[in-house]
């Protein structure tokens, strides 16, 4: 088994964001709690239970959209290219990608409205 410290740190940052999301939307917290009680009935969850925890899954996905981890990605251009906005990038240059800004862009959200049924809470 390989122990990956980066993965452990990632979990530590995702869970507080998820709980912060639920605290901001009490009606979503209540609905998620009701779903967990209905599906699990007080027992520990199994992998098979996930298909029946649809609203909880939506909460997790929406919290990751609102609070992505990591919020910024850095990638190195392998070849010279032209990015949107006619921005020229030479091979070997670092490119910063703000996942947070992309996930909060009204253009992006409008394009995927059908795929974001949970966004009515936000």
- State mean pLDDT over 66-82: 91
Determine which of 55-69, 86-100, 105-119 has the lowest per-residue pLDDT on average.
105-119
Cβ distance 94 to 73 under 8 Å? no
Q: What is the pLDDT of residues 43-70, one digit of tens each?
A: 999 999 999 999 998 888 888 888 888 8
Q: How many domains does the chain have?
A: 1
Q: Using one digit for the tens of pLDDT, what is the confidence trace for 10-50?
A: 666 778 888 888 888 888 899 999 999 999 999 999 999 99
Q: How far apart are CA 70 and CA 74, in angstroms?
A: 10
What's the sign of the alpha-carbon dihedral 56, 17, 98, 108? positive
Print the domain residue range for 43.
Answer: 5-121
Which pLDDT belongs to residue 68?
Answer: 87
């Amino acid at each position: 088994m390989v122990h990956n410290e980066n993965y452990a740190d990632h979990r530590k940052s995702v869970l507080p964001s998820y709980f912060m999301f639920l605290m901001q939307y009490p009606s979503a917290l209540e609905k998620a709690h009701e779903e967990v009680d209905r599906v699990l009935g007080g027992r520990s969850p199994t992998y098979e239970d996930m298909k029946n925890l649809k609203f909880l899954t939506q909460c997790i996905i929406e919290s990751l959209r609102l609070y992505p981890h990591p919020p910024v990605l850095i990638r190195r251009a392998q070849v010279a290219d032209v990015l949107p906005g006619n921005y020229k990038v030479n091979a070997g240059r670092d490119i910063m990608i703000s996942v947070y800004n992309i996930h909060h862009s009204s253009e992006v959200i409008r394009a995927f409205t059908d795929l974001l049924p949970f966004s009515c809470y936000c």
